[in-house]
Structure formats: C-alpha cells, structure tokens
C-alpha cells in the first residue's frame, strides 16, 4: 500500500490566535499571509503534497471565512484522482452542540468524516507552523519502531525550552517521560542526548512540535472510548499515553518555527531575505503551493534594493527598500524608504478613476505614498498610507493599541485596511 492510501492528514485550523492580533482580528491564524504571496496553511498542505499524502482535512472554526475561501480556490485535484483538501468547519450536531474545545476535541468531532476513507495512520498537523518536512521519513520511523503514536520533536536550547512540551526518550527512541512547559529551575533534569551536532549548538532538550502520527484504530479508541472527555493532545492525550502505549520520538533537525507571536512572525518573514534562508522557497523538491494568481510581473523604477523579496504584480518607485518582504500588488511611491518591513500588499488594484476619486475625497490610494519612511513595520493588506508618512518602529516605542495600529515588541502592526493620512508620524 502506498503512503497516499496509508495516511490521512488532519490539519488543525487554530484558535483565536490572540497573540498575533491585529493580524488575526479578521482572519484565522492559518489564513495570515506569509512570504508575500502565501498563507500559513499552505505550509502543512504543501508538506503533505510533497510527501505524497494527498488526502487532507482542514479543521476550521475561528474567523474562518477567508481560510475556507483560500482552500476552496487553491487546492483542486484531477477528477480522476482520489486526492482532496476538504474543509471541516466546526458544526453543532444533535450529539454535540458545542464548538471545538481544543485540539483533541476538534479531531474527535470530525472522526465521523474519516469513516469513508480507509487508512492505517492519521497524521495530525498544526496549521500555523513554518517548516519543510518529509512526512515519509516520519511514517517510516513510526513503522520501524513499532510505535502506536509518534511525535515529531526538535532539539531546542535553554531559552526556548520553557515554552514547549519537553520529553525524554530511551535507547529505542521511545518517549519515557513528558512535561509541559517546564520551569527553568528544573530544566537540568530534562537534558537529552540530541546528537553531537545539536549539542554543539546548545540544543539539549527535545521539544514536541505538535505533529503526531497515530495508528488509526488507537486514535479512535483514545478519543471515543478511553478518554472521551479530553480536549487537548499536548496536555492530556500524549502525557497519559506514554505509560500505556509505545510513543516514539521522531527527531527533526531542519528549520521549524511556531508562528505564535508578532515577533516570531516578523522574524520568520524577514529571514526569507537572507542569501540562503533556512526556509528555502527556491527548493524544487519542496515546493510551496498556493492560489495561482494571474498577476503581471513586478515593475520597479529608480529603486535601490538590498536583501528584499518582491512578489508578483508590484509597482515600486521607492528610493530604497532594504531587508524587507513586499507582498502582491504592492504600490510604493517616489522617494519612499522601507527598511526591515513586511508589506503584505493588497487584494486588488485600484483603477486610475478609483485613485482620482480617492484624492477628491481626501483619501490616499491603496499602497504607500511618496516620501514615506517605514522601519520595523508589518503593513497589513489594503492599507492606505499617504505622502510623507513616517512609521519608525523600534525598541523606543512602548507597546500600545489603537484603532489604526498596534505596537508589539517595537514592531508597528497596522490593521487591515487602515488609513494613514498625509504627514502621519509614529
């Protein structure tokens, strides 16, 4: 049996994502645009496709309209194929009137949809992580160890360890103990042999990545019979299973980041501007798929560019852009400077008539105007930034929240569709 028949994937759409606000005020976390042209949910779906896992359910609930629309418009397979990416929106039923209460509860409520699709294993993924993994290797490791459950793990250092579930393994890479977010004073008890290369980098702890492989029947038994009232995998199902079943660790040593905060989201995007980024968008064997848009190439005039990623359909007349990601359909006016920013772009182009009507109303056109200065900013989609606007983020700014923007960790994050009039200064 090929892996496409052996495995079915369930991708969790995430909760409210409050730590990513205001980017999640009108969309779910997996729907947040990343790298100028993708959405976060494209990452786990692409990893599955590249691993020949082509039957996927995406479980959605919070602010899910744009996520559902993106998946519907993007992932269409041949009529002669059994492949699919189906949306399972939270729904009230006669048996269960409640919405998803957590990761385990979400999967439990959707198990009835699996009955028509035979498989040996169920792969459970998060919809808001950035990584490139071959799931074939994880499945092979699962089989080789005779595991009932496998957890993808990644070595982390002292600073990151208290933010994760940390585990220890025996000589056969089976998990012997697990602790959720250990305090720093007991970290020494949780050091693992992560290998010479990882230890040389100070990465001495094995952290759960929130990626699981379950033997299908065991998953059904755990959620429906053994622990029917549990709501979370990381806090309940996994810890209780370690002493009862063979739970294996699959150690992954590539690039992986959990997009949980504005800072981690900002850093992950700007890291893409490196000469050889750890997350490589240019790897033919690990393509990232997304909605195909019939956009023209970017047009750039008189701009000095340094370590910048520019998506399709942009019209750029800026003076300088440095260490930045410029998203689809971005318009940046003459004399403007953009440094260490993620500009998400816009959902549509304004016509000349639209721009003239904007100006008659005293409204800046969509995009960034003339002679602007932007540093340490995330500019959400469809924002209107007038001429001579200065948005200078950095550690000198205190955390704040307004109707137009939020400041977190020195990063200015505009709200989607925000309007900044001429001469506005932060």
Q: How do residues 65-100 score in pLDDT, each as one tens digit?
A: 888 889 988 998 888 888 889 888 766 555 665 666
What's the pLDDT score for residue 122? 96
Q: Phi-psi bin for 8: left (phi > 0), alpha (psi -120 to 50), beta?
A: beta
Helix (H, G, I), strand (E, B) or coil at 205: strand
CA 102, CA 99: separation in Å to the nearest integer? 9
Strands 256-258 and 205-215: unpaired
Q: Phi-psi bin for 142: left (phi > 0), alpha (psi -120 to 50), beta?
A: alpha
What's the pLDDT score for residue 90? 67
CA 142, CA 42: separation in Å to the nearest integer? 25
> Per-residue confidence of the chain (426 residues) as pLDDT tens digits?
567 689 999 999 866 667 888 988 888 888 899 999 999 999 999 999 999 999 999 988 777 788 888 998 899 888 888 888 988 876 655 566 566 677 888 888 888 888 889 899 999 999 889 999 999 999 999 999 999 999 999 999 888 888 888 999 888 889 999 988 888 888 888 988 888 888 888 899 999 999 999 999 999 999 999 988 888 888 899 988 998 999 999 999 899 998 888 999 999 999 999 999 999 898 888 999 999 889 999 999 999 999 999 999 999 999 999 999 999 999 999 999 999 999 999 999 999 899 899 888 889 999 999 999 999 999 999 999 999 999 999 999 999 999 999 999 999 999 999 999 999 999
Q: What angle do CA 209, 133, 326 make, to 5 degrees?
A: 95
The strand pairing partners of 300, in sequence order, are 316
What number of CA atoms fall less than 13 Å from residue 6's CA on the CB side? 15
15 closest CA partner among 90, 66, 76, 79: 90
SS3 percent helix, strand, coil of the chain, rounded to 5, is 25, 30, 45
Give the helix/strand (H/E) hosting 85: strand 84-89
CA 98, CA 109: separation in Å to the nearest integer? 10
What's the pLDDT score for residue 65? 82
Domains in the chain: boundaries: 3-273, 293-420
Please tell me the pTM assigned to this model: 0.93
Strand ranges for 271-379 from DSSP E:
299-300, 304-310, 315-316, 320-326, 331-332, 337-343, 367-368, 373-379
The answer to whether 315 touches 331, Cβ cutoff 8 Å, is yes
Stated length of the chain: 426
What's the pLDDT score for residue 94? 58
What's the pLDDT score for residue 110? 85
For domain 293-420, the CATH superfamily is Hexapeptide repeat proteins (2.160.10.10)
The answer to whether 371 touches 407, Cβ cutoff 8 Å, is no
Place of tokens 């290369």: 197
CATH fold for the domain made of 3-273: Spore Coat Polysaccharide Biosynthesis Protein SpsA; Chain A (3.90.550)
Helices then strands, counting H and E runs in the chain, come out as 10, 27
The answer to whether 58 touches 127, Cβ cutoff 8 Å, is yes
Kindly provide the b/e burial profile for residues 352-362, where b requires at least 16 CB atoms within 10 angstroms of the residue's own CB. Answer: eeebeebeeee
> What's the distance, Cα to Cα, between the start and end of the chain in Å?
59
Burial class (CB in 10 A: 0-12, 13-18, 19+), 300: middle
Place of tokens 């995998």: 233
């Amino acid at each position: 049996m090929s892996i496409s028949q052996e495995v079915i994937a369930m991708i969790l759409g995430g909760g409210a994502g409050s730590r990513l606000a205001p980017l999640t005020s009108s969309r779910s976390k997996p729907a947040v645009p990343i790298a100028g042209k993708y959405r976060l949910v494209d990452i786990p779906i692409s990893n599955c496709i590249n691993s020949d896992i082509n039957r996927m359910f995406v479980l959605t609930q919070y602010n899910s309209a744009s996520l559902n629309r993106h998946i519907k418009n993007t992932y269409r397979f041949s009529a002669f194929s059994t492949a699919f990416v189906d949306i399972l929106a939270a729904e009230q039923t006669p048996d269960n009137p409640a919405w998803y209460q957590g990761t385990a509860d979400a999967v439990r409520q959707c198990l009835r949809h699996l009955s028509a699709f035979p498989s040996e294993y169920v792969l459970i993924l998060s919809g808001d992580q950035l990584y490139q993994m071959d799931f074939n290797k994880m499945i092979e490791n699962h089989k080789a160890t005779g595991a009932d459950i496998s957890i993808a793990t990644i070595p982390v250092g002292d600073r990151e360890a208290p933010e994760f579930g940390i585990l220890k393994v025996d000589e056969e890479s089976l998990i012997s103990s697990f602790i959720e977010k250990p305090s720093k004073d007991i970290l020494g008890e949780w050091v693992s042999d992560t290998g010479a290369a990882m230890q040389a980098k100070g990465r001495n702890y094995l952290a759960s990545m929130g990626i699981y492989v379950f033997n299908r029947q065991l998953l059904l038994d755990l959620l429906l019979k053994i622990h029917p009232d549990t709501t979370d995998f990381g806090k309940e199902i996994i810890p209780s299973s370690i002493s009862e079943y063979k739970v294996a660790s699959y150690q992954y040593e590539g690039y992986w980041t959990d997009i949980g905060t504005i800072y981690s989201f900002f850093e992950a995007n700007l890291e893409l501007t490196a000469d050889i980024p750890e997350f490589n968008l240019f790897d033919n064997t690990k393509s990232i798929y997304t909605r195909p848009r019939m956009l023209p190439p970017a047009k750039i005039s008189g701009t000095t560019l340094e370590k910048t990623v520019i998506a399709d359909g942009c019209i750029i007349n800026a003076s300088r852009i440095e260490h930045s990601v410029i998203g689809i359909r971005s318009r940046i006016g003459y004399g403007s400077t953009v440094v260490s920013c993620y500009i998400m772009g816009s959902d549509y182009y304004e016509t000349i008539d639209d721009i003239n009507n904007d100006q008659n109303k005293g409204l800046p056109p969509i995009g960034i105007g003339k002679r602007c200065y932007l540093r340490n900013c995330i500019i959400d989609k469809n924002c209107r930034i007038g001429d001579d606007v200065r948005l200078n983020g950095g550690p000198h700014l205190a955390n704040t929240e307004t109707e137009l923007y939020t400041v977190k960790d020195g990063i200015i994050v505009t709200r989607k569709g925000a309007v900044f009039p001429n001469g506005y200064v932060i």
